[in-house]
Structure 1
Amino acid sequence: MTVEVKKQMMIRDVHIADRPRERLIRQGAVSLSNQELIAILLRTGTKEESVLMLANSVLKTFDKIQDLKDATIEEMMAVNGIGQAKAVQILAAVELGKRIYRKHTEGRYVIKSPEDAAAYLMTDMSSLLQEHFVVLFLNVKNEVLHKQTVFIGSLNSSIVHPREIVRP
């Protein structure tokens, strides 16, 4: 009886032109898979796992790539092969993505309609698990001066007294 041992392909075994970093330089980031982008962030694998396999482990741990935006350092470190430094690298990249996505311009954001207010708040509020009552403070030009969460409610309701809105 023979037992076949499958050797895992390490990144150094991949032809240099096919490595994620080199492909990004040549073809742009849009040409890479989520696994390859995470592998670039991680930079190295472990003795037992290639960086691509480690990136795949991260993707398997979080069902959807969007779940990374809510991940904690502890959840990242629960992935075998991810230590504190690698967890911090991934979370820093996710935070940069959040900040870029917020689309805030150099000037103040102007609210002209309820849709504008929704667009302004959607990035921050779309992943919340409870109702949040948020107040936007505007100047006379309808520019956002400040945003404040006044009350955090239950799963599907938020009861707020008017004085809670006026107080801030």
Structure 2
Amino acid sequence: MQLETISCNKTSKKNVPLYERPRERLLRQGAEPLLDAELLAILLRTGLENESSFDLAQRLLASFGDLRNLSQATHEELTQVKGIGPVKAIELHAAFELGRRLVKHSRKERPVIRLPRDVADLMAPDLAHLTQEHFVCLFLNTKNQVIGKQTIFVGSLDASIVHPREVFKEAIKRSSASIICLHNHPSGDPAPSREDVAVTKTLYEVGELIGISLLDHVIIGDGRYVSLKEQGYL
């Protein structure tokens, strides 16, 4: 591979092979293999006249000892480092705060679905008061923990409208082991219609083919619910 060269300083980005530049490495290999300094260099974007963003990132890490200490640095402490102005300091604070929030979110206990009552307790507060039918899918992992939810369709339920493609596209995206479908009946009566049963059977058959099981289809009414699994439709 040819290298771009420039006659000025050796630390210039122009002297760095394309395959060693952090942005290009991330695009080619993903973020995980990159060093802390490389990820920081992407956030910093630019260095100084005689210093690349990667060199600046290395110096920044050295100034605080490690990434943990850097993440706890104040705005004033960051801007004391040559090359880190107010804007770069703010951007670093924002990036570290996003990381902290992601950790907090991942530590939250995920709901576990064992019975249809668990589905109703989890979702009835969101669905029971709605004036239109909302068809929602819960995506579960191998421990029956809810790892995501998605409203697939709003309106009267019909097998030709609630297409398995949309349901299982979301399930595959989340690496789901199984799914639970549910929808509300604005009338308050959760008794399943023929369309409800038809949709359930279609989704069940598709799920069996692709290896993502439909565990249940729960209909939410006014203070009541119906499980199509308990009704014998699954």
Normalising by structure 2, report the TM-score.
0.41
- 1:91-123: CA deviations, max 9, x gaps? 1110000000113578899xxxxxxxxxxxxxx
**1:61 is matched with which residue?**
63
Q: CA deviation at 1:46?
A: 1.1
- 1:41-86: CA deviations, max 9, x gaps? 0001111311111101110111121112211111110111110111
Distance in 2 of aligned mates of 1:105 and 1:59: 27
21, 25, 28: which one aligns with 2:27: 25
- 1:7-55: CA deviations, max 9, x gaps? 3321122122221001101111111001100000000111131111110
Summarize the Cα distance change of 1:7–1:63 in structure 2 as closer, same or farther, 3 Å threshold: same
Superposed CA RMSD in Å reads 2.2
- 1:109-153: CA deviations, max 9, x gaps? 9xxxxxxxxxxxxxxxxxxxxxxxxxxxxxxxxxxxxxxxxxxxx
Structure 1: runs of 5 or more not aligned = 1-5, 110-168
**1:101 is matched with which residue?**
103
Higher strand share: 2
**2:81 is matched with which residue?**
79
**1:43 is matched with which residue?**
45
Distance in 2 of aligned mates of 1:16 and 1:32: 14
Runs ≥4 in structure 1, deviation > 3 angstroms?
Answer: 104-109
Equivalent residues, number: 104
Q: How high is the sequence identity, in percent, across the aligned residues?
A: 43
Normalising by structure 1, report the TM-score.
0.56
Structure 2: runs of 5 or more not aligned = 1-7, 112-234
CA contact (8 A) 2:47 2:53 kept: yes
Higher helix share: 1
Counterpart of 1:8, as a letter, is K
